[in-house]
């Protein structure tokens, strides 16, 4: 995390002289939104963390841009995880990408929202190879399909497991008598 206070001061239009000299993540994301308005639909800043909502068709482009551009240099995918927001929520699922820069030491979160009837999102394994296992884990637990993933299999649960264990409608103790086929 960079300093939370800095981020809030650095929100678009109210850049104060006290904010740090380096571009803060929220500034970077705002800049990216200006150059590619379709890539980022919303920016949230909370608890000193910047979250950018990215439509799924642009996630690969946004990731590789953030990775390669000299200002942001998000060369490290720290984490990728799925979330089930609950059956009544629309869209129900989200995928969070936690990006980190090994040189500039700042972090942001990209978020892709997915509706239950179309759980497909392009893979980012071609941007960071570390996404491979993270995406397999998300597929394993939520059934989110990462299109273009080289090896999309279950990773922690057995191959013949029924259902997706971290969904809210999956019972804590599994299906009786046994969740395997």
Partner 1 sequence: MSSTLNVPPQFEIVDRPLDSQMTISMGPQHPSTHGVLRLELVLDGETVVKATPDIGYLHTGMEKLFEYKKYQQGIVITDRMDYLNPLGNNLAYVMAVEKLLELEIPERAQTIRVLTCELQRIASHLVWLGTHALDIGAMTVFFYCFREREKILNLIEAASGGRLTPSYFRIGGLMMDLPAGFEPRVKQFLDGFLEAVDEFHTLLTGNRIFQKRTQGVGVISAEDAIDWGLSGPCLRGSGVNLDIRRANPYTGYEKYDFEVPTEADGDVWARYIVRMREMKESHKIVVQALGRLKPGPVKADAPKVVLPDREAMKRHMDALIHHFLIVAEGFDVPAGEVYMPIEASKGELGVYVKSDGGPKPSRVHFRGPSFVNLSALPQMAEGAMIADIVAIIGSLDIVLGEIDR
- Binding footprint of partner 1 on the chain (CB under 8 A): 1-2, 46-49, 51, 75-79, 81, 83-86, 96, 98, 100, 102, 105, 107, 109, 128-130, 132-134, 141, 154-158, 165-166, 170, 172
Crossing angle of helices 59-68 and 25-35, in 10° steps, is 120
Distance CA 11, CA 27 (A): 7
Nearest to 82 by CA among 67, 66, 98: 98
Minimum separation from the CB atom of position 35 to partner 1 (A): 25
- Judged by CB, which is closer to partner 1: 12, or 163? 163
Minimum separation from the CB atom of position 45 to partner 1 (A): 11
- Judged by CB, which is closer to partner 1: 115, or 156? 156
Minimum separation from the CB atom of position 16 to partner 1 (A): 22
Alpha helices in the chain (DSSP H): 4-9, 25-35, 59-68, 131-142
- Judged by CB, which is closer to partner 1: 37, or 172? 172
- Judged by CB, which is closer to partner 1: 61, or 78? 78
Minimum separation from the CB atom of position 168 to partner 1 (A): 8
Nearest to 52 by CA among 11, 124, 110, 112: 110
Distance CA 153, CA 143 (A): 11
Minimum separation from the CB atom of position 102 to partner 1 (A): 5
Determine the Cα angle at 124 with ends 168 and 126, to 5°: 150
Find tokens 């000193």 and name the residue.
Answer: 48
- Secondary structure letter of residue 24 according to DSSP: P
- Judged by CB, which is closer to partner 1: 1, or 115? 1
């Amino acid at each position: 995390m960079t300093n939370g206070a800095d981020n809030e001061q650095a929100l678009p239009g109210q850049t104060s002289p006290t904010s740090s000299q380096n571009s803060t993540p929220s500034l970077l994301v705002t800049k990216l939104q200006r150059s590619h308005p379709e890539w980022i639909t919303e920016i949230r800043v909370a608890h000193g963390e910047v979250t950018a909502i990215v439509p799924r068709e642009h996630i690969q482009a946004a990731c590789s841009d953030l990775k390669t551009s000299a200002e942001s240099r998000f060369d490290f995918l720290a984490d990728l995880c799925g979330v089930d927001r609950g059956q009544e929520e629309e869209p129900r699922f989200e995928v969070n990408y936690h990006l980190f820069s090994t040189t500039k030491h700042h972090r942001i979160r990209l978020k892709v929202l997915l509706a239950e009837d179309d759980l497909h999102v392009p893979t980012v394994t071609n941007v960071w190879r570390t996404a491979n296992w993270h995406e397999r884990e998300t597929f394993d637990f939520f059934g989110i399909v990462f299109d273009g993933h080289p090896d999309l299999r279950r990773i922690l649960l057995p191959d013949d497991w029924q259902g997706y264990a971290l969904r809210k409608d999956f019972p804590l103790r599994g299906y009786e008598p046994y969740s395997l086929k």
